[in-house]
Amino acid sequence: MRILIAEDDLRSSEFLAKGLAESGFVVDTAGDGAAAWNRIREASHDLIILDVMMPGMDGWAVLAKLRAAGIETPVLFLTARDTVADRVKGLDLGADDYLVKPFAWPEFLARVRTLLRRRAGAGPEPLQVADLELDPVLMKARRGGRPLDLTTKEFQMLALLVRHQGNTISRDMLSSQFWEMRFMVDSNAIDVALGRLRRKVDGSSANKLIHTVRGAGYCLEVRPNE
């Protein structure tokens, strides 16, 4: 699942992004309100984490624009502003939760997962192709009812392929999404990772789902047995 962090303090942003990535989420960051709004328009997110006090467009303004545009993505305010008036203002503007800094990481992560579960309960498009099923909140996958033993990165790659089923995902896109040193990643490393994922997902099944698109990347789709 994809999360946007809008936070002008670089150290805080890096801490949050690292922790969420280690917990299995794809993370985007923005250092001010205007950058956050641009990110929101460029990509779909499952959760937005907003600081209130940001240069230029503050968190209040970002949230107001979101809701005015009809975007119902859950929003968690994460801020040092701890007055009751601030909390009420955030919730009245349409925030889904409000957490005051400093905070305990387990509580923050629990609130993130709670908001994502609520969003999942609202009926997003299911992640399923043929007999492959993915639970993006719990980050679990099953094939033919059998649980798949996937690492966090493997689950994220599989979810990306499923969300873009029938379309080719390039090695560059995989590199930029899942490897921090993306400009130094050998394409062979990506092929090895996808080969491992394919063995776990397809195994000895006659109905292969993950396919190599020669010279381009990878594609997940149902193809007639040859």
Tens-place pLDDT, residues 98-116: 888 888 888 998 899 888 8
Q: Does any domain span residue 184?
A: yes
End residue of a domain, out of 96, 121, 146: 121
Half-sphere exposure (Cβ direction) of 24: Cα atoms closer than 13 Å: 19
What is the predicted pLDDT for the residue at 35? 93
3-state secondary structure 107-122: HHHHHHHHHHHHHHHC
Range scoring the smallest mean pLDDT among 31-40, 74-83, 98-107, 133-142: 133-142
Q: Please indicate, yes or no, whether residues 38 and 108 belong to a single structural domain of this protein.
A: yes
- Short-list 102, 101, 79, 103, CA closest to 91: 79
Are residues 202 and 157 both part of a single domain?
A: yes
Q: Report the distance separating Cα 171 and Cα 156, nearest Å.
A: 14
Q: Residues of the chain with pLDDT > 90: what percent?
A: 35
The whole-number average pLDDT for the span 42-53 is 89
Contact 141, 152 (CB under 8 A): no
Please state the rounded mean pLDDT for residues 55-81: 88
Dihedral sign for Cα atoms in the order 107, 108, 111, 113? negative
- Backbone φ, ψ for residue 117 (5° rounding): -65, -40
Asked if the structure places residue 225 within a domain, the reply is no
Say what the pLDDT of residue 123 is. Answer: 47
Q: Tell me the pTM.
A: 0.57
Cβ density class 107-127: b for 16+ within 10 Å, e for less: ebeebbbebbeebbeeeeeeb
Query: Beta-carbon neighbour count of residue 57 at 10 Å?
Result: 17
Mean of all residue pLDDT scores within the chain: 85
User: Whole-angstrom Cα distance, residue 154 to residue 159?
Assistant: 9
CATH code, 200: 1.10.10.10
Q: Give yes or no: residues 117 and 165 share one domain.
A: no
- Do 165 and 99 share a domain, yes or no? no
The tokens for 70 are 């009809």
Residue 146 pLDDT greater than 70, yes or no:
yes
Same domain, 157 and 182: yes
**pLDDT for 197:** 96
Domain around 162: 127-220
Tell which of 86, 121, 156 closes a domain: 121
The pLDDT value given to residue 30: 93
pLDDT, tens digit, 9 for 90 and up, residues 202-215: 987 889 999 999 88
**Same-domain check for residues 104 and 158:** no
| Residue-level pLDDT at 219 | 95
Q: How confident is the model at residue 28 (pLDDT cuts 50, 70, 90)?
A: very high
Of 78, 105, 121, which one is at a domain's C-terminal end? 121
189: its two tokens = 């490393």
Residues in the chain: 226
